[in-house]
Amino acid sequence: MCGIVGMVGDRDAVPVLIEGLKRLEYRGYDSAGLAVLHENDVALRRAVGRLSALESELAAHPLSGSIGIGHTRWATHGEASVRNCHPHAAAEGRLALVHNGIIENYQELKKDLTAKGILFSSDTDTEVLAATIADCQQDGADLLEALRCALSKARGAYALGLLSLDAPETLYAARLGSPLIVGKGSSGYFIASDVPAILPQVDEVIYLEDGEIARLTPAGVEIWNLAGEAQVLKWVKVEMEESAVDAGGFETFMLKEIHEQTRVLRGLMERYVMDGQIVLPELNMSVGHIRTLQRMMIVSCGTAYYAAMYGRLLIENYTSIAVETDLGSEFRYRSPKIQPGTLVATVSQSGETADTLASVQMAKGAGCPILTICNVFGSSLVRESDHLIYTHAGPEIGVASTKAFTAQLMCFVFLTLYLAEARGELTAETREELLAELQRIPTAIHRVLENKEHIRKIAEQHHDGPSSLYLGRRYNYPMALEGALKNKEISYQHAEGYAAGEMKHGPIALINESLPVICICTETEDEVAEKMISNVREVQARSGRIIAIATEGDTRLDDITEDIIFVPRICECMSPLVNVVALQLLAYYAAQARGTDIDKPRNLAKSVTVE
Ligand code: M6R
């Protein structure tokens, strides 16, 4: 969702802001803008659409200045239009504000300000916050005091950057519930929504805490909490390599990230498996605690929710812990019966998903310990958690999650083995079998990647219809959901994932000769394997266009369909890690055939930081 970048330094901020905004594009946006202190003025340039529109605006009306803020906006309050673009000005154009988050009481604040005669030119909550800061300044407060005063009136979430003619050498930043970092480098000080945005500029960063306000000047950085108490600066060295945030010769970030999965999963095993034992350094959970666990609730959203469904199946299969899963957006608005002591786990690539975060805060309030599986260090979910497993997938830039997802699945395998071992519920034999199977996953994924031309041809044959259906059972049911989600997200073709056994209860009515039905049939051994083949035959009997994912050497589908994607044989409980790669490629090539913007699909944001 909205991205923020800002700079105070010794060179022109405009190219730095534009580059930063380009690096934030992946978060999703529909308009963009920037403001710089230019010739004793706060000058704004804003445009709807891609950043190229803002660049054209800048080419037509050039700007320069060494202090500036920039923003990519994903519309929430008010349509995507120039007047709703950030930055928003107040105090007769003397200050400009960029903001990520939602000011929930903006209507109330707006009413009070309107009564004082203040006029608004946008529909946004951000302009109201800018006007509130200006209003607080009217009482003679300096800008820092005015900002603190305005934030004390605002309810909701924010990450913000503020500049003003009244503090011409200064950039202010603040966060509450939305991510923001401060960075330093040889050419100045910076703010940004994430590290990749300012990676070329900075050597060290500070992850702002909720309720902190930062002041950046050419001389340095100061930070206070909302009560005005100075905070110790916690600079962290930036370890990220530039190659982690470029497409590395691939046509899209998504394709690069699909290919990175072998390396990411190998890296995870090197990190978390030592001498045949699972070692989870950030889990920080005693054996005594693990042995008392009876219930676990896993809360997450989107793709991460499907990882949670997979995790539940694994944990329930190998331990005696009862596991439930829920979507963050549902969990937080029902009355879940979570006893103090229930382990509440979250899974998240970004660590910033608003509904997951709110669910965690609710569970903490109920006295539950929190375990988070996350890809982003220092993110909000990480800070709220007692127990952690990092997915170490590296920055994921493609909006459609791929490598972060398979890393989440693998972390669930580690967690399951760790819990089962600590509870005395895992035999040495099972542990060795599962670990041996795990070691085979990267090579199996590599084989799927080698088969991508075949997958592309299948995708090209079936991409044109209005809809498709994905079927799977047990461990591969969440993969059917994920395959359908990937397809929807990037190819814009309606797709539905279903538990194959549920097909007779409704979706079978959809099947005809034009409906592609993607069937995950890699189970070969037990009754689920047989049932799945029966389901495929039911589709065949109704002339559905069957695309099967099957195990190499399996001949059961030979008389059913020619469109088979064979994958290496992997035990059923780990087969999703391999099968989903075939589904990612299938969605990818369908999207390519349909000509969509794969890395930046319409309407989507990479991290959903508002409800
Ligand atoms: O950052 P998170 O993992 O918490 O994000 C959750 C979902 O928004 C995310 O998985 C979304 O569904 C992806 N675009 C899926 O590709």
**CA–CA distance, 327 with 484 (Å, rounded to integer):** 17
User: Do 442 and 266 touch, CB atoms closer than 8 A?
Assistant: yes
Q: Give the tens place of pLDDT for each residue, 205-241.
A: 999 999 999 999 999 999 999 899 999 999 999 988 8
pLDDT higher than threshold 90 for residue 494? yes
Domains and CATH numbers, the chain: 3-244 (3.60.20.10), 248-446 (3.40.50.10490), 451-611 (3.40.50.10490)
Q: Name the residues annotated as catalytic.
A: 2, 606
If we measure between CA atoms, which residue out of 198, 178, 201 comes closest to residue 188? Answer: 201
Q: Could you give the residue ranges of the DSSP H alpha helices within 90-193?
A: 106-115, 125-138, 143-153
Cβ neighbors of 500 (< 8 A, separation 6 or more) are: 471, 472, 473, 477, 480, 519, 531, 532, 535
Length of the chain: 611
pLDDT at site 490: 97
pLDDT higher than threshold 80 for residue 160? yes
**Run of H or E including 23:** helix 13-24
Task: Please calculate the CA angle 6-79-104 and round it to the nearest 5 degrees.
Answer: 70
Among 34-38, 403-407, 505-509, 523-527, the range scoring the smallest mean pLDDT is 523-527
Work out the mean pLDDT of the chain and round it to a whole number.
94
Instruction: Check pocket membership of 406 for ligand 1, CB cut-off 6 A.
Output: no
pLDDT higher than threshold 90 for residue 610? no
pLDDT at site 140: 73
- At 76, the pLDDT band (50, 70, 90 cuts) reads confident
**Run of H or E including 390:** strand 387-390
What the block records as the tokens of 61 is 């009306």
Instruction: Check pocket membership of 372 for ligand 1, CB cut-off 6 A.
Output: no
Residue with tokens 């989440």: 408
If we measure between CA atoms, which residue out of 365, 333, 327 comes closest to residue 346? Answer: 327
Torsion of CA 492, 497, 503, 508, to 10 degrees: 10
Residue 584 CA, ligand 1 centroid: distance in Å: 15
Among 303, 305, 373, 610, the mutation site with the greatest number of ligand 1 atoms within 8 A of its Cβ is 303
**Run of H or E including 388:** strand 387-390
- At 487, the pLDDT band (50, 70, 90 cuts) reads very high
Predicted model pTM: 0.88
| 67-73: strand order across its sheet | 42-48, 31-37, 67-73, 3-9, 188-192, 181-185, 204-207, 236-237
Among 254, 485, 607, 610, the mutation site with the greatest number of ligand 1 atoms within 8 A of its Cβ is 607
Q: Report how far apart, in Å, the C-alpha atoms of 342 and of each of 151, 310, 338 are.
A: 35, 19, 6
Query: Which residue has its alpha carbon closest to ligand 1 atom 4?
Result: 348
pLDDT higher than threshold 90 for residue 79? no
Q: Give the tens place of pLDDT for each residue, 252-299.
A: 999 999 999 999 999 999 999 999 999 999 999 999 999 999 999 999
Q: Give the tens place of pLDDT for each residue, 94-126.
A: 999 999 988 999 999 999 999 999 999 999 999
pLDDT at site 80: 87
If we measure between CA atoms, which residue out of 256, 231, 229 comes closest to residue 245? Answer: 256
529: amino acid identity, one letter? A
Residue 607 CA, ligand 1 centroid: distance in Å: 7
pLDDT higher than threshold 90 for residue 606? no
Q: Is the peptide bond before 87 cis (omega within 30 degrees of 0)?
A: yes
Instruction: Check pocket membership of 301 for ligand 1, CB cut-off 6 A.
Output: yes
If we measure between CA atoms, which residue out of 517, 520, 508 comes closest to residue 577? Answer: 520
What average pLDDT does range 506-524 have in this prediction? 94
What average pLDDT does range 588-603 have in this prediction? 94
Instruction: Check pocket membership of 489 for ligand 1, CB cut-off 6 A.
Output: yes
